[in-house]
Structure formats: structure tokens, C-alpha cells
Structure 1
Amino acid sequence: MTNFSIVIPAKNESGGLLGLLPELFEQVSVLEVIVVDDGSSDNTAEVAESFGAKVISHNYSKGNGAAIKAGARAARGDAIIFMDGDGQHSPDDVNRLIEAYGEGYDMVVGARGKSSQASHSRWLGNGAYNFISSLMVGHKIDDLTSGLRVVNAKKFKGFIFMLPNGFSYPTTITMAFFRAGYSVKYIPIIASERIGNSHLHVFKDGVRFFIIIFKVATLYSPLKIFFPVSSMLFFTSLSYYLFTYITDNRLTNMTVILFVISVVVFMIGLVSEQITTLLYQNSNQED
């Protein structure tokens, strides 16, 4: 029988935990509930402890990903359920994810629909991430950034060193699981409106998520990014050479530079691909 640990990263989420934790303990049967207080300035830790949750406290805010890693390291269950502490995730959906996990998947993710997005722009942004990541892995990804998921604890901990301390841990672990050949399932959920203020910022996090899109590709297969860039540079150098040869009967320095850059970019991509392959190969051997 699989034992489940619930890990909830929380920063100033006392209001959300007041409603969430009683429902969790009443409706979901798990080994433990771990709340990671990420440097809160309110009574998040006290609220969590009052309902019987195990609390891990950070002296200062280290980030959502850092809280996830701290909770995962402390979790004793065979599988770990990650969820937000802001009241968006329903215990009913947690039970649905647990049921789906029992079908033999390595990770089950709650996929939010359009009605669950905070704004139209957020929905469009998430749609772009899902589309690009789906192209990369060759599988349909319904929600790349969902914070509600159940994972095999041993396999998740095998990638814990890769996870960033910020908000992009769902992206990183999703791509890592697909790259390692683990089975992933998405089930639709409805995320409620969060309690309290969001920790996301439109402009700063817009740039950050643009970087995530690039990271999605490099995590899964770096050569899929570097090869097209290298090819573009190569054909540009070839075209420019033909142009200068026909018009001036000469080979320019720019042609040589573009050609050399194209080769360098390709070699960087090739080396990165080999490093990535070794990384995931070692993770599989540890299982």
C-alpha cells in the first residue's frame, strides 16, 4: 500500500490554511501533512501547527522551489502530493489525483482550465508554455505550471538537485520526468480563487517565464534549440558567400565568421545533448 505525504509551501498563507487544512485532514487519508513556512511575516506556522501539520520554517524567504525541496526531503511517504496553501486546490481533487496515481503513473498533475486562470493574459501565457513544451516532448502537456501534483517520491528526489529555488519547479520536474521516460498523467481540475495576494508580478514574472520557455527546451533536448540556430547561421553564411562570389568574386570575413559561429553553436548543442543524456541516464540507473 502506498503511503502519501502532502507538502504545502506557504508564505503568508494563514488565511488559506485556515480553510484548507481542516478539509484536508477530514477528507484525505495520508501519512503526514508538511507545511513549509517560507519566511512568513504572519502566523502561518502557528495556524499549521494548530491543525496537526508538521511545520518546517525558513528564517527568511528562500522561494517556492526551495520550500518544495525542503518539504520533499522531509517527506516519509512513498509518494508526495504537492499543493498550494492559498485555498485554490480542493481536497476532492487531491483524492482524484491519488486514485489516478494508483493506476501506475509516476506523476499525476491537476490541469487547470480557462475558468481557473486568474486573468485572460495568464491563460494565454500558460497556453503558450503548454504548446511549446508539448512540441518538445511529443506528448500533450495540459498544464506545465500546475502546483497540484502527485509524484513518486524516490524518482522526484532523484531530480531534486535540478530544481530552482523560485517558481519554475513545476516546469523543471515535468520536463525531467518526460526526459527520463517516466509516465505522466493529467486530469482536469477547477482551481478556486486564491485567498490573499498573489506572489507573482506581471512584468518581472513575464520575463522569468520567457526564460522558462527556453529552459523547457534545454532541459528536454538542447540540440533541438542549438541545431536550428546553427543551421540558420550556416545557410546565412552560405547565402552571403554565394552573393559576394557572384557579385565580387571573393570570400568575405563576414562569411567566415558566420560559418565558424554556426559550427561552434552546433558543437555546444551537441555537447549539451550528451551531458543531458548522461544526466538522465544516471537518474534511471539510481532507480
Structure 2
Amino acid sequence: MKQELLSLILPSRNEAEGLRRLLPELVTLLPDAEIIVVNDGSDDNTLAACTEFPVRVISHPYPKGNGAAVKSGARAANGDVLIFMDADGQHKPEDIPALLEKFKEGYDMVVGARQSGSHAGAHRAVANDVFSRLATWMTGQPVEDLTSGFRVVKANKFRTFLYLLPNGFSYPTTITMSFFRAGFSVAYLPIHTPRRATGKSHIRPTRDGLRFLLIIFKIGTLYSPLKLFLPISLIFFFSGLSYYLFTFVTQHRFTNMSALLLTTSMLVFLIGLISEQITMLIYKDSD
């Protein structure tokens, strides 16, 4: 049986110090793998750091975002299996063999799930827990870490959804929900991420707060929109019905507020129904 070629993709923006620490370990650990560093418009010594090691470098002329770097790496990779990890030192190379062993059990994607005690801001830990719980409810499958960027995946199936991936920081959410919706096999492996070794995070709570909130809606619309819209529709329906009963008993009339709530309920349901049909069309070519 032909051995599958591995391509390891490192999206990097101003992570020269991290790369100098990480690349020697990766080259030693995966001597036969294709290692690709995607330089996302860095203005530090990232390029110089990469020339010290046998790696491919793809450079963006300006910062396009983590998701854009991931897509560039996936398009350029020659491997049958893609490994994605961060270049800032939070993902440990010694976890890669365990991810690959799990992957060989027949999964289409294996994700490193950060465990309690892993370094993350409190707001990010809470947000990730909310996202993961919502995704678990939507898919009916355990989703242990929806936003982890440390993963092993089949290249051909990953590329199927490249057009859906955003250029920003929510690409892990998008690809995970896409895999579940397409019926591909996804597994999680516990990992521990230490404190960021170098550089600084490019995520800004204020700027990205709205984006993280929108992830919640993306989770629903990428998997089963009706499962998200139906409860909202029912809330409006029963609110309108309850308010109508109240005003009928107390005022003997049907109010504008009752009409507005009931109409909104119907509109939300119809939007969910249309979204469900659109989602089915998005995934019609996945195999």
C-alpha cells in the first residue's frame, strides 16, 4: 500500500522567533513530510528564519488573515494528508504522532481538543465552551473543541470546502461543521496547549467580539439552519399566542403586538426553511 505524503502547514504572521524554535523539532519529527510556512504579510524576520530549514515558504504581499493563510497552504500542498498547527508555540510537535495514529483508524479529520488548564483568555475559554456545546447539540455528535486550529485532515476532502472558509479566525468552526454536515468522520484527541511562547495574539476581543458572536449563527447555518431557526420561531409564536390570550381576557381584543409576534414567528420559520434548502445545495457535491 502506498504511503500517504504528509504536508504540514504553518500559517504565520510575525512569528520568526516561534518558527526558529518550532521548525527544528518538526524537521526532525517528520523528515519525509512537506513543511509549508505561509508568511501572511509578516514585517519581522519570518523569511530569514525559514531559510535556515528545508521548508517551503508561501508569502502574502500583505496580511490577509489566518484563514486566508490556511487556504493558501492547502492549495499549494502536495500531500494526501494535511496537518495544520500554529506557529506561536502553543501547539506541541510531540502531539502530532498521536493525532496521526488516531487519523489512521479511519477518520477523515482528527482535531486536537484543548483540555482544562490549557492557556487561553477567560473570554476565549467561555466562548469556545459555548460554541462547542451548541455545535454538539446541532450535530448530535460530541464536539470537544470547535475552534482548535491543530488538526489532521484528508487533503481532498478539506479542499472541497475551501470556498466556504473565511479569511479570518473562524476557519476551524467552518471546516468542522462542514465535515459533520457532509457526513465525514471527525474525531477529537485531548491535548494541552502551554502559554504562548513568542509574539502576541492577533485576536482583539473588542474588534472580534462581533465575529465570535456571528460564529454562533454560522454553526447553525452551516449544519442545519432549521434546527436553529425553529426554536426561535416557536419562541415568537408562543409569545404572540400568550400575549393574545392575555389581551383577549383583559381587553377582549387582538392587539398589534400579538399580530407582530405571530407574523415574525412565521417569517423566521420560512427563512429557516429556505436556508435549509440552500444548505442542502451547498453540500450536494461533497463525497
TM-score, normalization by structure 2: 0.94
- Structure 1 residue 52 and structure 2 residue 31: aligned? no
Deviates more, 1:92-101 or 1:10-19: 92-101
- Structure 1 residue 124 and structure 2 residue 112: aligned? no
Q: Percent identity at matched positions?
A: 55
2:200 alignment partner in structure 1 = 197
Q: How many residues align?
A: 284
Select the residue among 230, 236, 247 that pairs with 2:233: 230
2:107 alignment partner in structure 1 = 105
1:165 alignment partner in structure 2 = 167
Q: CA deviation at 1:283?
A: 1.8
Q: 1:237 to 1:124 in 2, by over 3 A?
A: closer
- Structure 1 residue 280 and structure 2 residue 275: aligned? no
- Structure 1 residue 207 and structure 2 residue 247: aligned? no
Letter paired with 2:270: M
Q: CA deviation at 1:30?
A: 4.0
Could you list the runs of 5+ residues in structure 1 that have no partner in the other structure? Answer: none
Q: What is the SS of the residue equivalent to 1:250?
A: coil
1:92 alignment partner in structure 2 = 94
Q: CA deviation at 1:241?
A: 2.2
In structure 2, C-alpha distance between the alignment counterparts of 1:257 and 1:186, rounded to whole Å? 44
- Structure 1 residue 23 and structure 2 residue 21: aligned? no
Letter paired with 1:72: A
In structure 2, C-alpha distance between the alignment counterparts of 1:51 and 1:257, rounded to whole Å? 64
2:35 alignment partner in structure 1 = 33
Q: What is the SS of the residue equivalent to 1:256?
A: helix
Q: CA deviation at 1:143?
A: 1.2
Could you list the runs of 5+ residues in structure 2 that have no partner in the other structure? Answer: none
- Structure 1 residue 244 and structure 2 residue 225: aligned? no
Deviations 1:39-76 (A, max 9, x none): 00011122113212111101100000000001000011
Q: 1:2 to 1:235 in 2, by over 3 A?
A: same
Letter paired with 1:133: A
Q: What is the SS of the residue equivalent to 1:115?
A: coil
Q: What is the SS of the residue equivalent to 2:236?
A: helix
**Equivalent pair of 1:9/1:84 in contact (CA under 8 Å):** yes
Q: What is the SS of the residue equivalent to 1:186?
A: strand
2:82 alignment partner in structure 1 = 80
Q: CA deviation at 1:111?
A: 1.1
2:151 alignment partner in structure 1 = 149
In structure 1, C-alpha distance between the alignment counterparts of 2:122 and 2:249, rounded to whole Å? 52
**Equivalent pair of 2:11/2:87 in contact (CA under 8 Å):** yes
Q: What is the SS of the residue equivalent to 2:214?
A: helix
Deviations 1:228-251 (A, max 9, x none): 111111222222222233333333
Letter paired with 2:147: T
TM-score, normalization by structure 1: 0.94
Q: What is the SS of the residue equivalent to 1:283?
A: coil
Letter paired with 1:140: P
Q: What is the SS of the residue equivalent to 2:285?
A: helix
Q: CA deviation at 1:148?
A: 0.7
